[in-house]
Chains A and B, each alone.
Chain A
Amino acid sequence: MEFKIERVAELARLNLKPEEKQKLEKDLGAILDYVKNLEKIDTSKVEPTSHVLNMENVFRPDEVKTSDAADKALEHAPQADGRFFKVPKIVHRD
């Protein structure tokens, strides 16, 4: 199995605790082995299902409505500054 836990954790933006890495890697290897059984099924003529309802694109009228959700969201943000979410530095100067 090509499963490399460090690489996948990096893609998932997820630090792992050293003590959980081994167990997670073992579990995920076992799960991937289990789902490998699907290989046996011939699906060469089968369309994939991404959605169960046979609906086309859904549109609604683009109407202006009032909402206080943005204010409330800022109120409960981990850190806000005026109308902005505040985050730590993104780019460091070398």
Chain B
Amino acid sequence: MTDLCSLTLKEAITFAQKDGAKPLLDAFSKRAAVLNPKINAFLRFDPLSIKKSEIPGPLCGVPVSMKDNICIDGREVTCASRVLASHVPPYDATVIEKLKTSGATLFSQCNMDEFAFGSSCETSAFGPCRNPWDLERVPGGSSGGSAASVSADMTLAALGSDTGGSIRQPAALCGVVGVKPTYGRVSRYGLIAFGSSFDQIGPITKTVEDAAILMNIISGHDPKDSTSAPEKVPDFTQALKRDVKGLRIGLPKEYFIEGIDPEIEKSVRQAAEIYKKLGAEIKTITLPHTEHSVAVYYIVAVAEASSNLGRFDGVEYGLRVPSKDLRDMYFETRNQGFGQEAKRRILLGTFVLSAGYYEAYYLKGQKVRTLIRQDFEKAFKDVDVILSPTSPTPAFKIGEKTADPIAMYLSDIFTIPANLAGIPAMSLPCGFTGGGLPVGMQLMARPFDESTMFRAAYAFEQETGIYKKKPKLD
């Protein structure tokens, strides 16, 4: 019998239709118990199955995991923060409701950077997660546990969230597929907020097809999220055709800059050659404001974050540090509850929103955000998808960038622009470095045109078969 943990989501569903989901759950529980002490991808694993009496939906009981910032009714959800340790949400996020209705077994809750603040999964209050390809290296972040667990075959698929690259960058560093949908495509109801005008939930999977399957389940308008879009949701699996003839693919010259790892550049340029061979048209394009993306993001997103994190004050949920009066309780709960990166962002966000600085920083950031959106609008008049590296470097060593926040922030330089513009983007494996670390490439598309992005991704994946290579862990 083949190893059940190595199945794709699609294959596992076929297996479960015939033999039920129990053998799968047993196999994953066993593997997770062995590997989690080494990788620390899961904060909790305690499969929550649908009731037997319920008719299994399209997922037939197969296990799916989620980042620990997605609320599940009656289960601990912490955002990998001490301020939410032992917090039990009183309701299900819309994506959780959709997974349950589709018959998924909610498998495990994945490690992450505290409040999704980070690019390496090192700011988790519950210890860093490790990269399955090299345990001395980071899995990327902030959805590091989601990406590492899919890569290590500890779960079939996982949900992550992406505010500035938090699905795509760890997917690239762990050699798996990660999709950030168009802003508004997937409901944010029940996702613990970081940057409300950026956050999107999306799938992290072994294949493009698996990502399309999960996107079919989690997408759609939700009256509970006023920023959810009323757009029709196509069947994304219908887009999976090995045909890119005539597709216009743009290579933005600002994404191939000094400082990018030469092996990454080579790998992505080779991908462009493969597309050309398959009949796509490759065009060099320009997104002139790219270099300002990180600065805009670290003004606007931290402003939203500091505002969103104002609610953690010890009154209604989470940690409370007993104090002599209410004011002291706020100050001390927040001091003891938040880690360094959370404090850094709360302070920065508070500063850029404060009287006297609002216009110079926050408003300026919002204006440059408009210019970045316009770059994409112009580019998409000439091309159908944009191809770039996902991350300027492969997985870095644990501790390598923790002392220098700007160096850490710059690891999101290629992923942040899609969040600023709200467009869909994904990462998929496109090769390996000489040292055997995965390299990811990013595809970006027009708003609500995930289908074209999936078609381009599927054609490349099926042509190259790179996704079949797995880390050696046994």
Using a CB–CB distance below 8 Å, which chain A residues touch chain B? 2-3, 5, 8-9, 11-17, 20, 24, 27-28, 30-32, 34-35, 37-39, 41, 43, 46-53, 55, 58, 60, 67-73, 75-79, 85, 87-90, 92
> Within 8 Å of chain A (Cβ to Cβ): is B354?
yes
Contact in complex: B361, A88 (CB < 8 Å):
no
Distance from B396 Cβ to chain A, minimum over Cβ atoms (Å): 19
Contact in complex: A46, B367 (CB < 8 Å):
yes
Contact in complex: B324, A49 (CB < 8 Å):
no
Contact in complex: A35, B366 (CB < 8 Å):
no
| 6 residue pairs from A and B, CB less than 8 Å apart | A14-B338, A35-B299, A53-B227, A78-B318, A87-B315, A88-B322
For chain B, residues 360 to 419, give those with C-beta under 8 angstroms from any C-beta of chain A.
361, 363-371, 373, 405-406, 409
| Interface footprint category on B | 35 or more
Contacts of B319 in A (CB 8 A): 78
For chain B, residues 76 to 117, give those with C-beta under 8 angstroms from any C-beta of chain A.
87-88, 90-91
Contact in complex: A14, B368 (CB < 8 Å):
no
With A and B bound together, what is the CA distance between A2 and B298 in angstroms?
18
Distance from B364 Cβ to chain A, minimum over Cβ atoms (Å): 5
- Neighbour of A13 across the interface among B298, B330, B340, B357, CB < 8 A: B330
Contact in complex: B371, A43 (CB < 8 Å):
yes
> Within 8 Å of chain A (Cβ to Cβ): is B316?
yes
- Neighbour of B340 across the interface among A24, A37, A47, A51, CB < 8 A: A24
Contact in complex: A39, B335 (CB < 8 Å):
no
Q: 15 new A-B pairs (CB below 8 Å) besides A8-B347, A34-B295, A73-B90?
A: A8-B354, A9-B347, A14-B335, A14-B347, A20-B343, A31-B405, A37-B295, A41-B289, A48-B363, A48-B367, A48-B370, A52-B197, A68-B90, A72-B74, A88-B329
- Neighbour of A38 across the interface among B328, B354, B364, B421, CB < 8 A: B364
With A and B bound together, what is the CA distance between A8 and B184 in angstroms?
33
- Neighbour of A50 across the interface among B90, B361, B366, B371, CB < 8 A: B366
Question: Given contacts A13-B330, A14-B343, are A28 and B421 in contact (CB under 8 A)?
Answer: no
Contact in complex: A79, B197 (CB < 8 Å):
no
Contact in complex: A53, B229 (CB < 8 Å):
yes
With A and B bound together, what is the CA distance between A76 and B329 in angstroms?
18
Contact in complex: B325, A92 (CB < 8 Å):
yes
> Within 8 Å of chain A (Cβ to Cβ): is B292?
yes
Distance from A23 Cβ to chain B, minimum over Cβ atoms (Å): 8
Contacts of B373 in A (CB 8 A): 49, 52
Question: Given contacts A14-B338, A90-B326, are A78 and B354 in contact (CB under 8 A)?
Answer: no
Contacts of B338 in A (CB 8 A): 14
> Within 8 Å of chain A (Cβ to Cβ): is B422?
yes
With A and B bound together, what is the CA distance between A47 and B368 in angstroms?
9
Contact in complex: B90, A5 (CB < 8 Å):
no
Question: Given contacts A35-B298, A38-B292, A90-B326, are A28 and B348 in contact (CB under 8 A)?
Answer: yes
Distance from A67 Cβ to chain B, minimum over Cβ atoms (Å): 8
Closest residue on chain B to residue A57 by CB atoms: B226
